[in-house]
Amino acid sequence: MMYTIYIINSTLHDLHYIGHTANLEDRLKRHNENRSPFTKGKRPWQLVICKNYLSGRALRLISRRGR
């Protein structure tokens, strides 16, 4: 399974959000449909960057380091 770490930006509220998921397309849709607690009410969200990892363990290690 592929895992993705991503950064999205709220174009109207000058905010960014860093997250990780196994399904980036679905996750972005959820952010823009106000179905994510932190990003709710702050849409529209646009993808800034994403990076894929082959293991969840590698993704968690990178996430903890803030890279």
Q: pLDDT digit string (tens) for 36-60? A: 999 999 999 999 999 998 877 766 7
At residue 66, does pLDDT exceed 80? no
Which amino acid appears at position 39 of this protein? T
Q: For residue 56, what are the domain limits? A: 3-65
Find where tokens 């998921």 sit. Answer: 21
At residue 1, does pLDDT exceed 60? yes
Q: List all residues 6 or more positions away from 9 whose beta carbon is below 8 Å from its beta carbon.
A: 15, 16, 17, 45, 46, 48
Residue 65: band (very low, low, confident or very high) from pLDDT cuts 50, 70, 90: low
β partners of residue 9: 16, 46
How many domains is the chain built from? 1
Residue 12: band (very low, low, confident or very high) from pLDDT cuts 50, 70, 90: very high
Supply the pLDDT for residue 63. 66
